[in-house]
Chains A and B, each alone.
Chain A
Amino acid sequence: MRSLLRRDLWLAVRAGGGFGLGLAFFLLVAVIVPLGVGPEPATLAKIAPGILWVGALLSCLLSLDRIFALDFEDGSLDLLATSPMPMEAVVAIKSLAHWLVTGLPLVAVSPVLGLLLNLAPEGYIWLIVSLALGTPALSVIGAFGAALTVGLKRGGLLLSLLVLPLYMPTLIFGAEVVKRGAQGLAVGTPLALLAAITAGSLALLPFAAAAAIRVNLR
């Protein structure tokens, strides 16, 4: 299991692995939005929580089809399925690797982008907390979508269509946490719901994704 995690991280950071792609996209979104809506600080502060969360979600989406597609193409997925590693563990490890490569860097740079979008000072801590809590759900839900579409030629668009609706609850509660935090209101309820979504997806979706992969490998 550790060797699979090590391999996936290694593959992501080596040439052509796509590391930093999501991060660069996130950065671009945060830079482009002020250009589009104008530089009024009040407007930017108002939309900052939503834009930051939508940006994080889209950059996550960008790298989803790599989770299983590359392994499917070169035959590794067949060999992994016949190896002693349970498919559920393979899915969980690959989701973790995706989060470490995509989600964690997003969490780390989000305060800087908050600055670009004039996020209220009280909101920073909740931006970090909500992204740290919510992005694992994005990765594992995405892995489920990738498992459903593995083996489809150019399944990337279908994957986005499948996964985006599943991302809605995470987006709504994640952005709500930041919005309330920035206004100095209590964030307990959306934070608890966000945590519940993450915990639920982490617990259930690796099994669903493993089942989907087994069907797709037939």
Chain B
Amino acid sequence: MNMRVQDLTVARGGVAVLEGVSFELGARRALILRGPNGIGKTTLLRTLAGLQPAVAGRIDVEPDAVAYAAHADGIKAVLSVRENLAFWANAYGGRDVGAALTAMNLDDLAERRAANLSAGQKRRLGLARLLVTGRKVWMMDEPTVSLDTASVALFAGVVRAHLAAGGSALIATHIDLGIEAEVLDLAPFKARAPVAGGQMGAFDEAFE
């Protein structure tokens, strides 16, 4: 079991957006998060990544198991593709950059400055970062934005290889990646409005 979430309530801007979210994510499994815009997919992922506290509920995950890929890729424009990736590889304990570059088809671009990459190429670099983290649970927020069909297939292959190696993936996406995965529809977990008895977020706790 790589991750277990029980009865989780997450809040954005002081108002709960999702409540009672529960799921389990085992090794070799992928879970796709679906739901309309604004339902709280990003908020849920940020909470699971530890960037913001949960309002209620439990998140059980092995320590140092999670790698998070956000909307923004954290790419430095003045560094080359290889330098960008090497920095994150070092931060996560010095894994091999070459394999990640090859996996995301970035070999030809390795020495190019990131400022000169297209949006899709930047995204591929951002996703290559997951490979050098060596973490078990990949959490991805709309990973396929600005990727073309070939790159989406490439990325799906990388995720499949990660799952086959005992990893797991939590993906918020609107498109079909072609990965065998369970789908978690977040719409039923939409939080009640505060006036209807919904919970307020942790942000307001000082004022209560």
Which residues of A approach B to under 8 Å, CB–CB?
A: 2-4, 7, 10-11, 14-17, 71, 74-85, 217-218
Contact = CB atoms under 8 A, between A and B. Distances in A.
A83 B78 contact: no
A117 to B, nearest CB: 36
A11 B70 contact: no
A16 B78 contact: yes
Nearest to A72: B72
Contact of B71 (A7, A71, A75): A75
B91 A83 contact: yes
A84 B93 contact: yes
B7 to A, nearest CB: 21
A14 B84 CA distance: 14
Majority-rule SS of A interface residues: helix
Contacts of B71: 75
Interface residues of B, number: 30
B50 interface: yes
Interface of B: 46, 49-53, 64, 66-68, 70-79, 83, 86-88, 90-93, 129, 203
Contact of B88 (A11, A16, A71, A79): A79
Contact of B91 (A77, A78, A84): A84
Contact of A84 (B72, B83, B92): B92
Contacts of B46: 78
A2 B94 CA distance: 12
B70 A75 contact: yes
B65 to A, nearest CB: 11
B76 A82 contact: no
Contact of B52 (A14, A85, A217): A217
